[in-house]
Structure 1
Amino acid sequence: MKTMLKIIGVIILLIVVYAVIAMLAFGKNYHYEKSMVVNAPKEKVWQQISSTKAFNQWNPWMKLDPAMKITYTGNPGEVGDKYCWDSKNDDAGAGCQEIKELVLNEKQKTEMIFERPFAGQATSEITLSPEGSGTKVTWTMDTEQDPMMKIMRPMMDYQMGKSYEEGLNNLKNLVEK
């Protein structure tokens, strides 16, 4: 019994030490980035990133809830093009994403406002650059993290990696048809 209590005590101590180190070591700014080369000209890729409706054709989070309510506003393919989602599923939550900047065949920048399951704000960019006979697509996200979210950063990196990989593969499959 004493051995079991010691093991539990050591595990709790390690968790506390990790939490303190994470809160001190990780900065408040979080950046995630993933790239993939697709075998298509950037003009064809641009068609899939320049509007929120096109983005949602390959957006990996859309599959989290097939019954998710989606509302589009603004003019498709222009700054101000926006969609809001509302899901009963906490994995999908609720929020809005709005295009804030478009540079023809080069860059799309959006702002995301999350309402549920956690309130927050982030920006995302998708940039296109020539790569051999294809197009390099780089997808980024930037946000500020409160101290408690810093503790979850390795898990967040893992989840973002899976989601961005899935999304970029969806995009690749769509534009390489």
Structure 2
Amino acid sequence: MKAILKIFGLIILLIAIYAGIAMLAYGKEYHYEKSVVVNAPREKVWQNVHSMAAFNRWNPWMKLDRTMKITYTGKSGQVGDRYCWDSKNDEAGKGCQEIKELVLNEKQKTEMTFLKPFEGEATSEIILSSEGNSTKVTWTMDTEQDAMMKVMRPMMDYQMGKSYKEGLHNLKVLVENR
């Protein structure tokens, strides 16, 4: 019994040490990005990123709840184009994403507001750059993290990597097979 208590105490101590190191080591700013090369010109890729409806055709989070309520407002493909989602599934949650900047065939910048399961804000960019006859698509996200999110950063990096990889794969397949 003493050995189990010692092991349990050691585990708690290690978790506390990791949490302290994570809070000190990780800055408040969080940046994540992932890229893929799509075998198509920028103009063709742009047709799949220029509006919120187009984005949602390959958005990996849309599959988390096929019954989530989606509401679009604003003019499609223009600054102010916005969609809000509301899901009973905590994995999908509730929030809104709005286009804040568009540079034709080059960049789409959005602002996201998360309401459930956690409140937060983030910005995201989809940047297109030519690579010969292909297009490099770079998808980014920037946000500020509180202390608890810093502790969870390795898990967040893993989840973001998985989701961004899936989304960029969806985009690549969508564009290349049209």
TM-score range (shorter-chain normalised) is over 0.9
Aligned equivalents of 1:33, 1:132: Cα separation in 2: 22
Match of 2:32 in 1: 32
Match of 1:56 in 2: 56
SS in 2 for 1:173: helix
- Output the amino acid matched with 1:110: T
Match of 2:3 in 1: 3
Aligned equivalents of 2:2, 2:84: Cα separation in 1: 54
Q: Which runs of 5+ in 2 are unaligned?
A: none
- Output the amino acid matched with 2:160: M
Match of 1:136 in 2: 136
Aligned equivalents of 2:42, 2:130: Cα separation in 1: 7
TM-score (norm 1): 0.99
- Report whether the alignment pairs 1:150 with 2:156: no
Q: RMSD between aligned alpha carbons?
A: 0.5
State the Cα distance separating 1:4 from its structure 2 match.
1.1
Q: Deviations over 1:50-84 (max 9, x none)?
A: 00000000000000000000000000000000000
Q: What does 1:51-130 align with in structure 2 at a 5 Å threshold?
A: 51-130=51-130
Aligned equivalents of 2:148, 2:156: Cα separation in 1: 12
Aligned equivalents of 1:114, 1:8: Cα separation in 2: 36
Aligned equivalents of 2:3, 2:131: Cα separation in 1: 58
SS in 1 for 2:66: coil
**Aligned length in residues:** 177
4+ residue runs of structure 1 moved beyond 2 angstroms? none
Q: Which runs of 5+ in 1 are unaligned?
A: none
Aligned equivalents of 2:125, 2:111: Cα separation in 1: 9
Aligned equivalents of 2:132, 2:102: Cα separation in 1: 24
State the Cα distance separating 1:121 from its structure 2 match.
0.2
- Output the amino acid matched with 1:113: T
SS in 1 for 2:140: strand
Match of 1:161 in 2: 161
Percent of aligned positions with the same letter in both sequences?
Answer: 77
TM-score (norm 2): 0.99
SS in 2 for 1:49: coil
State the Cα distance separating 1:3 from its structure 2 match.
1.1
State the Cα distance separating 1:2 from its structure 2 match.
1.1
SS in 2 for 1:66: coil
